[in-house]
């Protein structure tokens, strides 16, 4: 599935039952960081424009932060003989499907939001991936698919019905957040020009887009929200 083949929503107007999630716009995911996502720097200003717009519409704004202890088991360095990018599947899916370079270590510069990201409109900053033995791609559930982050309860208690997803990386944290968001009963809309992907293993982005489409996730471009 290519971006150009997706059915796009037209004319979407955010309201006070909406939230925008800005996923992991942190130094380590920006070119120059430990786990750089290609062109990730190019979407930051537009994300700022979008969160400002959502705040004017009384929608909620949530930033997530990948926030790993330095001995996190998703790091290749924790597995003798393994390199970043190597396949790895722990029994219950808590770590994998590949290993990463050490990234977003708690308290380091790489874990901070990029300096150009405007967070002042944020209602909530949610940190995830803090358990050394369990990764957390999704902002809703850790990778064991059992441990909640609390986000679903937060959104439900504020009467949020629809979530918009932006940020990094399209085929990991944005993807798993979108799928779990659907499973928790939210309408989910991915803002496709406010996200960039890793595309590892090869074709991962295309497979994720196909699966999101199949699951009923909607796709929208920024200019259908802000006209
Ligand atoms: C992410 C890989 C490892 C992400 C986080 O934010 O998409 N990807 N940790
Ligand atoms: Zn991570």
Q: Where are the domains of the chain?
A: 3-224
* Token pair for 85: 């990018």
Nearest ligand 1 atom to the CA of 74 is 3
The Å distance, Cα 227 to ligand 1 centre, comes to 31
Contact 175, 208 (CB under 8 A): yes
**Nearest ligand to the CA atom of 37:** 1
Contact 25, 168 (CB under 8 A): yes
Whether 172 is in the pocket of ligand 1, judged by its Cβ within 6 Å, is: yes
pLDDT of residue 3: 76
Domain 3-224, second-level architecture = 3-Layer(aba) Sandwich (3.40)
Contact 163, 123 (CB under 8 A): no
- Active-site residues: which are they? 24, 128, 173
Nearest ligand 1 atom to the CA of 29 is 6
Rounded to whole angstroms, how far apart are CA atoms 44 and 91? 36
pLDDT of residue 115: 98
Rounded to whole angstroms, how far apart are CA atoms 37 and 28? 9
The Å distance, Cα 76 to ligand 1 centre, comes to 14
Backbone angles phi, psi at 87, to 5 degrees: -65, 145
* Token pair for 158: 């504020």
Rounded to whole angstroms, how far apart are CA atoms 198 and 15? 31
Tens digit of each residue's pLDDT, the chain (227 residues): 777 788 999 999 999 999 999 999 999 999 999 999 999 999 999 999 999 999 999 999 999 999 999 999 999 999 999 999 999 999 889 999 999 999 999 999 999 999 999 999 999 999 999 999 999 999 999 999 999 999 999 999 999 999 999 999 999 999 999 999 999 999 999 999 999 999 999 999 999 999 999 999 999 999 999 98
Q: For 182-214, write each residue's pLDDT tens digit.
A: 999 999 999 999 999 999 999 999 999 999 999
Which helix (H) or strand (E) segment is 47 a member of?
helix 44-56
pLDDT of residue 10: 94
Global pTM reads 0.98
pLDDT of residue 158: 98
Whether 176 is in the pocket of ligand 1, judged by its Cβ within 6 Å, is: no
Rounded to whole angstroms, how far apart are CA atoms 167 and 177? 11
Residues less than 5 Å from ion ligand 2, measured at CB: 66
End-to-end Cα, the chain, rounded Å: 27
Rounded to whole angstroms, how far apart are CA atoms 227 and 178? 25
Rounded to whole angstroms, how far apart are CA atoms 29 and 32? 8
Least Cα distance to 21 among 160, 210, 130 occurs for 160
Which helix (H) or strand (E) segment is 211 a member of?
helix 204-214
Contact 65, 115 (CB under 8 A): no
pLDDT of residue 5: 83
Q: Strand, coil or helix: what is 80?
A: coil
Whether 173 is in the pocket of ligand 1, judged by its Cβ within 6 Å, is: yes
Whether 25 is in the pocket of ligand 1, judged by its Cβ within 6 Å, is: no
Q: For 98-120, write each residue's pLDDT tens digit.
A: 999 999 999 999 999 999 999 99
pLDDT of residue 91: 86
């Amino acid at each position: 599935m290519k971006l150009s083949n997706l059915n796009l929503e037209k004319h979407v107007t955010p309201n006070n039952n909406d939230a925008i999630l800005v996923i992991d716009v942190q130094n380590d995911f920006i070119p120059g960081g430990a786990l750089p996502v290609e062109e990730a720097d190019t979407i930051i200003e537009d994300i700022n424009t979008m969160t400002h717009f959502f705040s004017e519409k009384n929608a909620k704004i949530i930033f997530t932060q990948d926030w790993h202890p330095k001995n996190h088991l998703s790091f290749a360095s924790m597995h003798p003989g393994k390199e970043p990018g190597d396949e790895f599947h722990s029994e219950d899916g808590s770590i994998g499907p590949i290993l990463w370079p050490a990234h977003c270590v708690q308290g380091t510069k790489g874990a901070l939001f990029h300096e150009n990201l405007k967070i002042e409109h944020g209602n909530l900053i949610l940190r995830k991936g803090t358990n050394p033995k369990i990764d957390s791609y999704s902002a809703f559930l850790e990778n064991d698919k059992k441990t909640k982050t609390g986000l679903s309860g937060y959104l439900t208690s504020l009467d949020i019905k629809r979530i918009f997803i932006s940020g990094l990386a399209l085929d990991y944290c944005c993807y798993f957040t979108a799928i779990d968001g659907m499973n928790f009963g939210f309408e989910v809309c991915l803002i496709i020009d406010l996200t960039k992907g890793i595309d590892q293993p090869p074709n991962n982005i295309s497979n994720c887009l196909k699966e999101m489409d199949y699951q009923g996730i909607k796709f929208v471009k920024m200019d259908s929200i802000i006209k």
